[in-house]
Amino acid sequence: MATLKKRKQYIKGSTLIEVVVALVIIMVVFGIATLTYVHLVNSNNTPALKIQQELAALAAATAAQPSPANQVYSLENDISVAQRVQTYAGGEGLLLLELEAFDRNEKSLGIYRSIIPIEAYEEN
Amino acid sequence: MRQPKLKAGALLSVLGIALIIALLLGAMLLLLYYNRKDNTQALRALKLERNLQSATTLLLSKPYSATTGPAETLDLYHEGTDSVQLQQYPWGIYEIALASAFENSDTLRKAFIKGRQINPAKAYVLYLKDDDRPLSVSGSTLIRGTAYLPPAGTRKAYIEDKAYQSDSTIFGPSKESEKSLPAVNAGLIAQLKQLAFDSLASHMTTAIPFETIQDSLSRSFFQEPLLISSSDSISLENMTLKGAIILVSKKAINVASSANIEQVILVAPSIHIADDFSGNLQAFAQDSLRVGQDCILSYPSVLGLLETRAENAVQEFTPEMNIGKNSTIHGIVFSAAARTNTDFMNRISLQPGSLIKGEVYADGLLEAKGSIHGSTACQRFMLRTPSSLYDNFLLDAQLDYSERSRYYLGSALLQVTSKGGVIKWLH
């Protein structure tokens, strides 16, 4: 009995302050990590890469047309693509092809520009 | 006896757990960081590829049809974000085009041999200069495609015990030819003549003596072409020469079948390509060019006979090109006369079984015993047999435009169109 009494003197539990401080630390660490992670995930440019690849595929199809013109395409997820074709100022027989993707709020998601030849055979 | 302390501090445990969580999250953040970096690099690579494609389009366009010189840097869209560098320099009768797109330290570049697109409306299988005499055809001769012929036209002939085998002499539309051949690019011919040993000696000091060359040499087209010269004859035996190399001899160049040659330019008064040789080259000879039997010269190869005889010089010999039996040339075979006098004209001979897939332009006589899949232009045909010499005769010759590849591209030498095309990617 005496021994048990003696041992009990050395057993210590957590105080309320310790538990509160521990909880605060965990919450802060978790909060910072989660915020950073979410921020990074949201700012990740994978969609930009995907959009560029889709614009490249559209541009290849347009370049193969005999006379490409201005027009608007609709892609998945409410993304629209505006195609603009104009004469390239840097050379005769060349066109400047611009494809710009927009989301549903008309926010630009990416632009693709390329110089393509006018397909018609030129004779001199 | 004193018992050890039993720790039950929640703070310490929580700190440990928090550290582990922080490490795990740190690893995830690192992963995301590299993923993002990869995406950025992929986006940049896409952009550079796009700009490189645009640069290639520019190089093939009309403004760059005759532009050669130092590299030119362009801002494609005048926004300071899409920079490309373009350069062209002549390579025999073709051009080497170099394009590079760059951003920060990333650069993508391309090199290619540039040719010229052929206008289908002006394409022909045969252009025979109007020499006031008809073209006689005999044996299994075939002419398929648009033919420009003298007003005297064609006639069927019986020679060497062979009669003409078909009903029609021309399988395609016939048009009247002029008193002269379609003009070649005189500037290009003059440029090629400048590669001759005597011309080089006067204005080039960068030539490397052939004697110093080892058995293998390769030169990138992104570098300045390497000029190798010799005042003696050159024999290419068991040698490998690849890329931007111009080999010039004052006397002769002999190419053995063991030589491995790609894209190299050979210039000499006399060039001999041995039997069974296989490779890719442009050979320009002033006096004699002989291709042995069973040779294969891959596209784009060029054989050129560049006369240097003076207009009123005393005749010593006739410049001649001979393409041996069963040899195949993919590209252009041509001769360029140095004088207007039609006596002792230069001569191109295609032996039986030989095949030219491309163009033949003979500013002189053409002996066509083989096949030409593409276009043929000549001042006059000739035919030598053991017993006779025939003028403007074709015996068992096959001239067929329809057999030429639809992807074939010509050069600035014969078809002066401004629209370029990629003949071959080099790097």
Q: Do A40 and B40 touch (CB under 8 A)?
A: no
The reply to whether A37 and A52 lie within a common domain is no
Q: Do A22 and B119 touch (CB under 8 A)?
A: no
3-state class (DSSP) for residue B151: coil
The reply to whether A109 and A66 lie within a common domain is yes
B5 lies in a domain?
no
Chain A residue with the nearest C-alpha to that of B119: A123
Q: Does B77 touch chain A (CB under 8 A)?
A: yes
The reply to whether B200 and B91 lie within a common domain is no
The reply to whether B230 and B294 lie within a common domain is yes
CB–CB of B391/B133 below 8 Å? yes
CB–CB of B245/B264 below 8 Å? yes
B28 lies in a domain?
no
The reply to whether A71 and A60 lie within a common domain is yes
Indicate the DSSP class of residue B317: -
Residue B284's domain spans which residues? 120-408
Using a CB-CB distance cutoff of 8 angstroms, which residues of chain B are in contact with residue A84?
Answer: none
B25 lies in a domain?
no
Query: Which candidate in A43, A115, A124 is best for mutational testing of the B interface (most B CBs within 10 A)?
Result: A115
Q: Read off the pLDDT of residues B308-365 as tens digits, 9 standing for 90 and up.
A: 876 666 666 789 999 999 999 999 999 998 766 666 789 999 999 999 999 999 999 9
- B230 membership: H or E segment, kind and range: strand B226-230
Q: Which amino acid makes up residue B327?
A: S
Give the count of domains, chain A. 2
**Distance from C-alpha of B330 to C-alpha of B408, rounded to nearest angstrom:** 10
The reply to whether A113 and A53 lie within a common domain is yes
Chain B residue with the nearest C-alpha to that of A23: B14
- B71 membership: H or E segment, kind and range: strand B69-75
**Distance from C-alpha of A93 to C-alpha of B384, rounded to nearest angstrom:** 49
How many alpha carbons lie under 13 Å from residue B124 in its C-beta half-sphere? Answer: 22
The reply to whether B398 and B257 lie within a common domain is yes
A122 lies in a domain?
no
**Distance from C-alpha of B163 to C-alpha of A77, rounded to nearest angstrom:** 74
| Dihedral (CA of A41, A42, A47, A52) sign | negative
B333 lies in a domain?
yes
Q: Within 10 A of B160 (CB to CB), how many other CB atoms are there?
A: 16
Residue A77's domain spans which residues? 46-117
The reply to whether B270 and B294 lie within a common domain is yes
The reply to whether A24 and A62 lie within a common domain is no
Among B39, B60, B416, beta carbon nearest to A49: B39
Total beta-carbon pairs less than 8 A apart between chain A and chain B: 129
A16 lies in a domain?
yes
Q: Model ipTM?
A: 0.73
**Distance from C-alpha of B66 to C-alpha of A55, rounded to nearest angstrom:** 33
Q: Do A114 and B119 touch (CB under 8 A)?
A: no
Indicate the DSSP class of residue B414: T
The reply to whether B276 and B182 lie within a common domain is yes
Give the count of domains, chain B. 2
pTM to 2 decimal places: 0.84
The reply to whether A70 and A86 lie within a common domain is yes
The reply to whether B276 and B168 lie within a common domain is yes
The reply to whether A28 and A58 lie within a common domain is no
A95 lies in a domain?
yes
In terms of phi and psi (left: phi > 0; alpha: psi -120 to 50; beta: otherwise), the region of B172 is left
User: pLDDT tens digits for chain A (124 residues)?
Assistant: 455 555 555 556 667 777 788 788 878 878 887 887 787 677 655 578 888 888 999 988 888 888 888 989 888 878 899 999 988 887 778 889 999 999 888 888 889 999 998 865 444 4
The reply to whether B299 and B388 lie within a common domain is yes
